[in-house]
Structure 1
Amino acid sequence: MSVNVRIPTILRTYTGGRAEVPAEGATLAEVIASLEDSHPGIAARVLDDEGRLRRFVNVYVNDDDVRFEGGLQAATPDGAGVSIIPAVAGG
């Protein structure tokens, strides 16, 4: 399955400045692996040392938060939009 991944500004150094990149995979885990193959280093910014989504990184497939759709096993249908969004904190 081919998807389009929207990259936040802070991670664009891994994608040569590109705001959106293609990736392959039927699940979010496969999409992240595809991203890592094409853009080395990006997976470590999205996944923690145990291979789970980082606590302060939100990921959406289309408009669905993957934390409620199976996490890394969330389906990524052909043509889907995947958004990586770092959480913002402060006060």
Structure 2
Amino acid sequence: MSVSVRIPTILRTYTGGQSEVTTEGATLAEVLDNLEASYTGIKARILDDNGDLRRFVNVYVGNEDVRFLENLATATPDNTQISVIPAVAGGC
């Protein structure tokens, strides 16, 4: 399944500055494995040491937050857009 992945500014150093890349995978886990094969080091910025999504990284398949779906087992249908969005904190 070919999908597009939107890359946040902070991770574009791994993709040579590209804001969106195309890869393959039937699930989010497969997509991340294939991203890592093409862009070494990016997966470690999205997943923690236990292989789970990092606490402050949100991932959407289409418009759905994968934390409310099947996390890394979330299906990634052909032509789906995946967005990786780091959480932003702030305040007084």
TM superposition score normalised by structure 2: 0.98
- What is the identity, as a one-letter code, of the residue corresponding to 2:70? G
- What is the identity, as a one-letter code, of the residue corresponding to 2:4? N
Q: Distance in 2 between matches of 1:45 and 1:30?
A: 16
Aligned position for 2:28? 28
Task: Give 3-state SS (helix, strand or coil) of 1:89's partner.
Answer: coil
Aligned position for 2:85? 85
Deviations 1:18-70 (CA, angstroms, capped at 9, x unpaired)? 00001110000000000000000000000000000000000000000000110
Q: Distance in 2 between matches of 1:34 and 1:2?
A: 11
Task: Give 3-state SS (helix, strand or coil) of 2:89's partner.
Answer: coil
What RMSD in Å do the two structures reach over aligned CA positions? Answer: 0.3
CA shift at 1:86, angstroms?
0.0
Aligned position for 2:19? 19
Aligned position for 1:69? 69
- What is the identity, as a one-letter code, of the residue corresponding to 1:81? Q
Paired-residue identity, %? 69
How many correspondences in the alignment? 91
Q: Distance in 2 between matches of 1:52 and 1:15?
A: 22
Q: Distance in 1 between matches of 2:54 and 2:13?
A: 19
Q: Which runs of 4+ in 1 moved over 6 A?
A: none
